[in-house]
């Protein structure tokens, strides 16, 4: 039951992006650099040297120093790579105040390095009062294409939506007669004709659906919308190709059909579209809940239980809520190397860290203790690395995600008990 989405990569990207988006510089002095996979690093260093020269024209002493310091730091960092990483590299560097209200001069030079999970598309160098995050934001957008059918008695709109793109591909009219028969026509004959027309119309919609959603675009799911019961008749009649019929993500009521209806359906389907990962998560959580409710279920949940299963090596998939809010603390005695580990809530981070630092080493009594903190999700990722297990980060936006979180936000699917 492998999911296609690398949920850990997405988790990391979201985390760093949310952190970077809060940063702002005193002036135009924060450097953003995007390096595509095939760009040789010596070319990048050359370009940065030129930027360093250009920066000498900056009038403000502080801004000039900050920009030039940032450029030097980036060039030094690039020297650590012998070649451009597989997907390229994004670097953000600049003098950042510890808080927005901190006094002038309290800035420190900070560098953030992002190895994206998808290739960087174009080279970009920017110096601004904020970091340029658009190319990375673009990467975490959903790439899957979803099809929309907006249908009623008079017309059908076909649309697609993917990432930031919404397109009404086609609108066809039904040709179905109105509900009122012409004079002289028998009621029964009228009804029969009308049924025939509707049947033809639905078949035509189905053919256009195959052309648009299977041949032109390879959609990953379909949403059906429209006013009144037409869409339900269409669905129940199983006119659609089974590949589409079996792939309907939602059926939604709208006020309009056709072109307007496609847009309306997309608006209403926001929760479905926002996160297609939701479909994968549904499956994962369903599996988890199924195991929980079975007598000899191959599952454990809770921090301690999951860590035990990892230590035994019998977990194959670890589920963890994106906002589980836990931190792993590791206290190492600098003298004898004795290690204490603790998993704590974000809220108790400072006091717990202080406690670990101030307690003498239980093994040798030394007071020289170093404490290393790690995001719990990253801790799990490291932990499963050699076990052939996988970490799946579960969002807390979906119903399933919320349900999963009520089990403590961490669980493991087991190979055996």
Contacting residues toward Zn ion, per CB under 5 A: 333, 335-336, 338, 361, 363-364, 366
Least separation in angstroms between CB 338 and Zn ion: 4
Distances (CA, A) of 327 to 181, 304, 378, 379: 71, 14, 9, 8
Least separation in angstroms between CB 333 and Zn ion: 3
Residue 369 structure tokens:
């203790």
Asked whether 13 and 114 are in contact (CB, 8 A), the reply is: yes
Task: Give 292 or 360: the residue with its C-beta nearer to Zn ion.
Answer: 360
d(C-alpha 68, C-alpha 381), whole Å: 37
Least separation in angstroms between CB 356 and Zn ion: 13
Task: Give 335 or 397: the residue with its C-beta nearer to Zn ion.
Answer: 335
Distances (CA, A) of 409 to 26, 36, 97, 120: 39, 36, 34, 33
Residue 261 structure tokens:
């209806």
Task: Give 364 or 385: the residue with its C-beta nearer to Zn ion.
Answer: 364
DSSP state of 385: G
Give kind and range of the element (H or E) at residue 286: helix 277-293
Least separation in angstroms between CB 330 and Zn ion: 14
Task: Give 203 or 363: the residue with its C-beta nearer to Zn ion.
Answer: 363
Least separation in angstroms between CB 355 and Zn ion: 16
Least separation in angstroms between CB 275 and Zn ion: 47
Task: Give 353 or 405: the residue with its C-beta nearer to Zn ion.
Answer: 353
Least separation in angstroms between CB 20 and Zn ion: 38
Q: Of 259, 268, 266, 206, which Cα lies nearest the Cα of 231? A: 206
Task: Give 312 or 334: the residue with its C-beta nearer to Zn ion.
Answer: 334
Distances (CA, A) of 259 to 82, 213, 239, 262, 316: 53, 16, 21, 5, 46
Least separation in angstroms between CB 307 and Zn ion: 23
Tell me whether strands 369-375 and 326-333 are parallel, antiparallel or unpaired: antiparallel
Task: Give 18 or 366: the residue with its C-beta nearer to Zn ion.
Answer: 366
- CB contact set of 277 (below 8 Å; sequence gap of 6+): 3, 5, 7, 10, 142, 395
Task: Give 266 or 329: the residue with its C-beta nearer to Zn ion.
Answer: 329
Task: Give 15 or 330: the residue with its C-beta nearer to Zn ion.
Answer: 330
Asked whether 416 and 312 are in contact (CB, 8 A), the reply is: no
Map residue 198 onto helix, strand or coil: helix
Q: Phi first, then psi: give them for residue 158, nearest 5 degrees.
A: -115, 125
Task: Give 346 or 363: the residue with its C-beta nearer to Zn ion.
Answer: 363
Least separation in angstroms between CB 298 and Zn ion: 40
- CB contact set of 251 (below 8 Å; sequence gap of 6+): 223, 224, 225, 231, 232, 235
Least separation in angstroms between CB 354 and Zn ion: 18
Least separation in angstroms between CB 13 and Zn ion: 38
- The end-to-end CA distance of the chain, in Å, is 19
Please report the DSSP string for 211-269 in residue order: IIIIIIS--SEEEEEESTTHHHHHHHTT-S-HHHHTTEEEEEE-S--HHHHHHHHHHHT
d(C-alpha 394, C-alpha 383), whole Å: 18
Residue 403 structure tokens:
């349900």
Tell me whether strands 221-226 and 248-253 are parallel, antiparallel or unpaired: parallel
Task: Give 211 or 355: the residue with its C-beta nearer to Zn ion.
Answer: 355
């Amino acid at each position: 039951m492998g999911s296609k989405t690398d949920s850990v990569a997405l988790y990391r990207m979201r985390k760093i992006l949310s952190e970077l988006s809060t940063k702002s510089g005193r002036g135009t002095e924060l450097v953003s650099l995007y390096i595509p996979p095939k760009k040789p690093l010596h070319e990048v260093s050359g370009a940065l040297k030129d930027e360093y020269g250009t920066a000498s024209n900056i009038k403000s002493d502080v801004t000039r120093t900050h920009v030039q310091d940032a450029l030097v730091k980036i060039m030094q960092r690039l020297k650590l790579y012998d070649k451009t990483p597989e997907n390229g590299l994004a670097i953000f560097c600049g003098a950042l105040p510890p808080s927005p209200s901190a006094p002038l001069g309290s800035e420190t030079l900070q560098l953030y390095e992002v190895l994206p999970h998808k290739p960087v598309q174009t080279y970009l160098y920017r110096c601004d009062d904020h970091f340029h995050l658009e190319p990375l934001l673009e990467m975490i957008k959903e790439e899957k294409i979803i099809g929309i059918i907006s249908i009623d008695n008079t017309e059908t709109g076909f649309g697609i939506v993917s990432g930031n793109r919404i397109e009404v591909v086609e609108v066809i009219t039904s040709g179905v007669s109105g509900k009122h028969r012409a004079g002289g026509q028998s009621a029964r004959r009228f009804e029969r004709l009308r049924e025939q027309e509707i049947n033809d119309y639905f078949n035509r919609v189905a053919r256009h659906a195959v052309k648009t959603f299977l041949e032109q675009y390879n959609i990953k799911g379909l949403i059906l919308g429209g006013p009144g019961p037409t869409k339900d008749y269409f669905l129940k009649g199983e006119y659609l190709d089974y590949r589409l019929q079996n792939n309907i993500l939602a059926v939604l009521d709208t006020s309009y059909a056709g072109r307007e209806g496609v847009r309306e359906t997309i608006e209403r389907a926001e929760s479905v579209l926002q996160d297609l990962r939701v479909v994968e998560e549904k499956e994962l959580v369903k599996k988890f809940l199924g195991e929980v409710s079975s007598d000899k279920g191959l599952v454990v949940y809770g921090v301690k239980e999951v860590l035990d299963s990892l230590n035994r090596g019998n977990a194959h998939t670890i589920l963890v809520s994106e906002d589980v809010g836990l931190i792993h603390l590791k206290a190492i005695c600098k003298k004898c190397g004795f290690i204490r580990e603790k998993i704590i809530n974000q809220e108790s981070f400072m006091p717990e860290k202080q406690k670990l630092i101030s307690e003498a080493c239980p093994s040798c009594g030394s007071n020289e203790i170093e404490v290393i903190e790690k995001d719990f999700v990253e801790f799990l990722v490291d932990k499963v690395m050699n076990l052939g297990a996988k970490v799946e980060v579960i969002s807390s936006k979906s119903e399933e995600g919320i349900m999963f979180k009520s089990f403590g936000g961490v669980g493991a699917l087991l190979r055996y008990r």
